[in-house]
Amino acid sequence: MDRNDSQHIDYEGFSFDAFDEARRPDPEVTGFDQVVEAALSRRGFLGVLAYGSGAAAMGLGTGMGMGMGSLLSSVSAEAATSRFAFKPIPIATDFTVHVPEGYTWRVLARWGDPLFSDAVAFDHATGGDAATSNRVFGENTDGMELFAIGNRQVIAVNHEYVNPKLNLPKNEDGKPMSAEDVRKLQNLQGVTVMEVAESEGGWNIVVDSPLNRRIDHNTEMRLSGPAAGHDLLKTAADPAGTSSLGTFNNCGAGKTPWGTYLTCEENFNGYFGSTDETVALPDDFKRYGIDAKSVYSYEKFDERFDLSKHLNEPYRAGYIVEIDPADPASTPVKRTALGRFKHENAATALARDGRVVVYLGDDERGEFLYKFVSAGIYTPGGDTSTLLDEGMLHVARFAEDGSGEWIALTPEATGMTAAEIAILTRVAASKVGATTMDRPEWVAVNPVAIEAYCALTNNSRRGVKPNAGGDETPVGGPNPRAENKYGQIVRWYPDGDDHAATGFTWDLFVMAGNPTVHEDAYAGSENVNEGNMFNSPDGMMFDTTGLLWIQTDGDDDNEGDFAGQGNNQMLAGDPATGRIERFLTGPNGSEVTGLTWSADRRTMFVGIQHPKAPFPDGEGTLGRSSIIAVKRDDNLPLG
Ligand code: FEO
Ligand code: CA
Ligand code: CA
Ligand code: CA
């Protein structure tokens, strides 16, 4: 199941995807011919690129299952194996986590675990205490980062959305029936900042640490950057348009060089609805999927989310939010200069001259990949307060010949003001001819080479139907397959080895697929085989050695097109050889998302989102999203 905008909610008996599909049905599926044509042209182009530069020559896995064998043989056997310190594991279809021989996992934190001693211990009958629901570890763990603050280790982690049937198990279908129910759901989302510590028994939350904090759907935020104070951001409660409440649908994450956490607002549209179905909504709401029908029914009990009363509230969500984990009293800042869309994550890099570069994916079928470049320069210890407010947002255009361009979203290029570009970013990007992508999920920046990767998770409508109000989505470039059910990972090499450059070259690191079911482009690229196959790459992080960790959020029914792929999983990929091996499998029904390491790199923290019972507490319990700690039995570093 496609869990990105599905929210994993049985909404009126559907996943969000199926629900959305029912509301906006697809036309007839396009032909198989398109796939073959794209595959062939892609192969030809890769052949050229592969000889073009050393970096591109590493793109071994990109041959669409043909023609790249001679390049593979140029990599020595030792080089191809030395990067993987583990023995790859097979797929799993069961309800627990598996890691390789010589590694052990253990739960660190579960939805409902107290962060403070005044929180009530989790009760499986009630889905947790409502009154203290913002004093516990929240629901649906997602992106996270670990910060070493003094001698403390602090994890900042997102709680993306809720599973109301689990959170309100006494309510029919989990539907909120009161303001208290809504408040409980609001409390369980947002961000947790928590100190963690390792003892003999393993890692635990440091309950009552002075750095522990919950940020939820009612936490005060400051709006900064070009959109702050714009008329569209003004509401009755905030006539200045500079202060809002809550951060929403916090998906992936990022970390700045100065030690702050970036949380990314993704499917914020689902929180807004209207008690008056006839309400007139602005045209631009369509492009963002905002309509009178909400996913969570907040509007029935909390009028801030009722579009018939507060039409501007959705303009105050969909941003990157910066949080200082070292100061629990600090006000999170919505950095509007980084644009408003369905933000997946925020991967930072430094340009050669010290400007800050933030890569940003907009996870929607046929939306875009972005890059922010700061105006100011980062200097350690210097003022960083406006680095993410002043700068230029760019959007990616990929050419068929393997080149690409970051197009600046200037007022001149878009005919929009800087504030309008920040608020209606999708509209601005459409005006400059950006490339519609197969749902950009996480971007990861390689710390040991000047290159970046983006997971394009899948796109059932590639070549079929654009996003509402969006651009056509022709098959080609980094999105080479129609009816793309498996996904791919694109990477780019900035010109001049500078992340601030406007030009780049690109190739595909992998095209996921199923070589046991298909013989065409859907078999996947050459670095996909029966032993390592997967679908729907989503979370991605590099470790310090330059190994790329890939997490999946895909179909785990292990049947048909997905036969032999098992549960969602985490794999490691070697940029130099294209080799990919499976490291971890999640419980059936869960997504593996979120990854960070302890300060000594001897523990890897991995997020297990929306597992079904009996994970993690056993039969007769509720499934609880969890962060697990993975260690080597010999306690050596793992990344
Ligand atoms: Fe929240 Fe696109 O995943
Ligand atoms: Ca998810
Ligand atoms: Ca996803
Ligand atoms: Ca994701």
What gap in Å lies between CA 239 and CA 312, rounded to an integer?
11
Helix (H) or strand (E) holding 12: none
- So what's the pLDDT on residue 443? 99
Number of Cα atoms under 13 Å in the Cβ half of residue 241: 16
Is residue 620 assigned to a domain? yes
Omega of the bond leading into 380 within 30 degrees of 0 (cis):
no
Q: How far is the CA of 267 from the centre of ligand 1 (A)?
A: 8
Total domains in the fold of the chain = 1
Is residue 200 assigned to a domain? yes
What gap in Å lies between CA 389 and CA 311, rounded to an integer?
25
Secondary structure class of 637 (helix, strand, coil): coil
CB of residue 158 inside a 6 A radius of ligand 1? no
What is the tens place of the pLDDT at every residue in 508-527? 999 999 999 999 999 999 99
Residue nearest to atom 1 of ligand 1 (CA): 251
What gap in Å lies between CA 297 and CA 167, rounded to an integer?
14
Is residue 365 assigned to a domain? yes
- So what's the pLDDT on residue 246? 98
Strand ranges for 285-390 from DSSP E: 320-323, 333-335, 343-350, 355-362, 369-377
- So what's the pLDDT on residue 561? 98
Identify the CATH number of the domain in which residue 480 sits. 2.120.10.30
CB of residue 195 inside a 6 A radius of ligand 1? no
Residue nearest to atom 3 of ligand 1 (CA): 4
Is residue 5 assigned to a domain? no
Is residue 133 assigned to a domain? yes
Q: Kindly report the number of other CB atoms within 10 A of residue 79's CB atom.
A: 13
What gap in Å lies between CA 261 and CA 463, rounded to an integer?
36
* Successive 10-residue mean pLDDT values, the chain, 639 residues: 41 41 36 35 31 29 32 39 86 98 98 98 98 98 98 98 98 98 98 98 97 98 98 98 98 98 98 97 98 97 98 99 98 99 98 98 98 98 98 98 98 98 98 98 98 98 90 96 97 98 98 98 98 98 97 98 98 97 98 98 98 97 98 96
What gap in Å lies between CA 587 and CA 520, rounded to an integer?
30
CB of residue 458 inside a 6 A radius of ligand 1? no
Q: Which ligand is nearest to the CA of 2?
A: 3
- So what's the pLDDT on residue 82? 60
Q: How far is the CA of 7 from the centre of ligand 2 (A)?
A: 6
Is residue 81 assigned to a domain? yes
What is the tens place of the pLDDT at every residue in 10-31? 444 434 444 444 443 333 333 3
Q: Which ligand is nearest to the CA of 7?
A: 2
Give the tokens for residue 599: 């300060």
Q: Kindly report the number of other CB atoms within 10 A of residue 531's CB atom.
A: 13
Number of Cα atoms under 13 Å in the Cβ half of residue 357: 24
CB of residue 5 inside a 6 A radius of ligand 1? no
Q: Kindly report the number of other CB atoms within 10 A of residue 338's CB atom.
A: 27
Secondary structure class of 224 (helix, strand, coil): strand
Is residue 637 assigned to a domain? no
Secondary structure class of 339 (helix, strand, coil): coil
Q: How far is the CA of 457 from the centre of ligand 3 (A)?
A: 6
Atom of ligand 1 at shortest distance to CA of 457? 2
Enter the pTM of the model. Answer: 0.89
Give the tokens for residue 592: 């593996």
Q: How far is the CA of 86 from the centre of ligand 1 (A)?
A: 28
Is residue 9 assigned to a domain? no
CB of residue 4 inside a 6 A radius of ligand 1? yes
Its domain, for residue 385, covers 16-632
Amino acid identity of residue 422, one-letter, is A
Length of the chain: 639
Q: How far is the CA of 102 from the centre of ligand 4 (A)?
A: 29
**CB 148, CB 132: distance < 8 Å:** no
What gap in Å lies between CA 535 and CA 514, rounded to an integer?
8
